[in-house]
Amino acid sequence: MEEKNKRETFSTGFAVFFATLGSAVGLGNIWKFPYLIGTNGGGAFLLVYLLCVVLVGIPIMSCEFYIGRKSRKNAVGAFKKLNASKGWKTIGFMGVASAFLIAFFYSSVAGWVYSYVFKAIKGDFAGVTLVTANTKFMSTLVGPLSPIVWQFIVLCVVSIILIAGVKNGIERITKTLMPVLFILILICDVRALTLPGASQGLKFLFHVDFTQLTGPVILAALGLAFFKLSLGMGTMLTYGSYFTQSNNMIATSAKVALSDSLISILAGIAIFPAVFSFGLTPSEGPGLLFKTIPLVFSKIPFGSVLLVAFFFLTAIAATTAMISMIEVPVAYFTEEKGIGRKNAVLLTTSIMMVVGILATLSAHPTSVLGNIHILGQRGFFDSFDFISSNILLPIGGLLIAIYVGYFVKKEDFKLELSNQGTLNNDLVLNIIYIFIKFISPCLLIIVFFNSIGIIKL
Ligand code: PFF
């Protein structure tokens, strides 16, 4: 940063796309999406998820980009800069809280992935069977010491990259490795599709059985859409604040949402055929990825190398997603509290480490803290996830849509998103505005009230 008041920006449109995709693509696609499809009954969940991405995700991402680039501020400072009345800052504070809650369990799962890279390099998965895949995962998960050490390593890596700054750190990594991850998932797909009984997995993933759709299932799909696209907590807002003035932000939103969904579906195609072929159950839960992928790569040429590459790239994807998540509190602490960037990063990641241990030690019923329940039947791990994904992010998204739809002048919104009239996208802007003002908020309210039982669909 050359001048004190000059914020860094991403260098090109290409870099903007990959950095934003780097935030969206992560454990959400490869770990959470398949396991939630598995526990929520398959195709019907997928359909609702995709509807949420289009009807709510893209409009809200556009709103976040708008607020971020227009204000060139962090999630809390942005509302002040745009002269919004004081209460709107709440969105920013909720975002900072969500970043912490997500990071508590996300760093834990990222730690399992890092440890799988290490195990795969050591050749631990040679001759893997259903039984050994299961034991390996359980020992990774239950620890108790090793998952904490891996979580610590993850947070150290993330801190180092974050201290290096926006451009140097985030851009370089995402631009190079995203395409490689994509190719690797495609290789997995080819392998999975040639397994005996693969079609059963595809049927599970794509067959829509509407009887599966209950209030909580729909809420879970909505929460996943927010989590996946890093929405409702100011991450995309903060990234928007680093965008160049010439970026077509509506196009970026659509491209990121669609590419991200494609990667999730491809991950599903890699996993479900294998689940059925190797005799696992789709509703396996958080271990689904970790149990199936070693089996997918077993007994094929170069399988052990591909397995290392797969977990390595998943680790990178998890790391870049975490970087964007942690950027929310870091930008807040540096810009609003005047804390230096390095100290802000260390403060944030230290809190994440200390409280994150609670998530790590409660990830399974047999874990050290596995029998402590704080939200109904949920332990720390699941509660951090539920409160952030299914409550805070959708409420954050709703407030963002209401702010832009009702408290920002339509002309201002259109001017910013058409790059001062240079883009010629009037029709698209009018359509997206209708979504922001009416459709997305209504859907959010209906899903939310339905899931807490105030209205019955
Ligand atoms: N979108 C990320 C994923 O799907 O893995 C998770 C995430 C990153 C959520 C950043 C929120 C966030 F701010």
CA of 321 to the centre of ligand 1 (A): 5
Q: How far apart, in whole angstroms, are the C-alpha atoms of residue 236 and residue 227?
A: 12
pLDDT of residue 167: 55
pLDDT given for residue 169 in this prediction: 57
Is residue 145 classed exposed, middle or buried when 0-12, 13-18 and 19+ CB atoms within 10 A define those classes? exposed
- Ligand 1: residues with CB < 6 A are 23-24, 26-29, 102, 227-228, 230, 233, 235, 321, 324-325
The pLDDT value recorded for residue 16 is: 82
Mention every residue, 6+ apart, whose C-beta is less than 8 A from residue 396: 91, 94, 95, 98, 226, 231, 232, 233, 234
Q: How far is the CA of 227 from the centre of ligand 1 (A)?
A: 5
Give the span between the Cα atoms of 425 and 416, in whole angstroms: 11
53, 228, 231: which to mutate for ligand 1, most atoms within 8 A of CB? 228
* Residue having the nearest C-alpha atom to atom 9 of ligand 1: 230
From CA 253, how far away is CA 1, in angstroms rounded? 27
Question: Which pLDDT score is estimated for 168?
Answer: 62
From the CA of 27, give the closest atom in ligand 1.
5
Distance between Cα 53 and ligand 1 center (Å): 14
| Helix or strand holding residue 348 (H, E) | helix 341-360
- What is the pLDDT, as a whole number, of residue 18? 84
Would you call 208 helix, strand, or coil by DSSP? coil
Q: How far is the CA of 306 from the centre of ligand 1 (A)?
A: 25
Q: Which residue owns the Cα nearest ligand 1 atom 10?
A: 325
Q: Which of 232, 211, 255 is nearest to 20 (CA)?
A: 255
> How far, in Å, is the centroid of ligand 1 from the Cα of 436?
22
Say how far apart CA 355 and CA 219 lie, in whole Å: 26
For residue 6, what pLDDT is reported? 60
Query: What is the spatial distance between Cα 327 and Cα 230, in angstroms, rounded to a whole number?
Result: 12
Query: Rounded to the nearest whole angstrom, what is the distance from the C-alpha of residue 323 to the centroid of ligand 1?
Result: 9
Per the CB < 8 A criterion, the answer to whether 158 and 6 are in contact is no
Amino acid, res. 266: L
- Ligand 1 pocket mutation pick from 20, 229, 230 by most atoms within 8 angstroms of CB: 230
Nearest atom in ligand 1 to 317's CA: 5
Atom of ligand 1 nearest to the CA of 31: 5
| Domain 3-451 CATH class label | mainly alpha
Determine the pLDDT at residue 3.
38
- The interaxial angle of helices 172-193 and 303-337, nearest 10 deg, is 140
Q: What is the pLDDT of residue 170?
A: 65
Ligand 1, atom 7: nearest CA belongs to which residue? 230
Atom of ligand 1 nearest to the CA of 234: 13
226 CA distance to ligand 1 middle (Å)? 8
- Provide φ and ψ at 187, rounded to 5°: -60, -45
* 28 CA → ligand 1 middle, Å: 7
Instruction: Say if residue 87 is exposed, middle or buried (CB neighbours under 10 Å; 0-12, 13-18, 19+).
Output: exposed
Containing 181, the helix (H) or strand (E) segment is helix 172-193
Rounded to 10 degrees, what is the CA torsion of 73, 79, 82, 83?
A: -140
**Interval between CA 389 and ligand 1 midpoint (Å):** 10
Q: Report how far residue 432's alpha carbon sits from residue 441's, in angstroms, rounded to the nearest whole number.
A: 13
Residue-level pLDDT at 449 = 84
Low pLDDT (below 70) residues in the chain: 1-6, 166-170, 456-457
29 Cα: distance to centroid of ligand 1 (angstroms): 9
The answer to whether 113 touches 318, Cβ cutoff 8 Å, is: yes
Query: To test the ligand 1 pocket, which listed residue (325, 332, 390) has its Cβ within 8 A of the most ligand atoms?
Result: 325
Cα separation of 178 and 65, whole Å? 22
**Is residue 150 within 8 Å of 112, Cβ to Cβ?**
yes
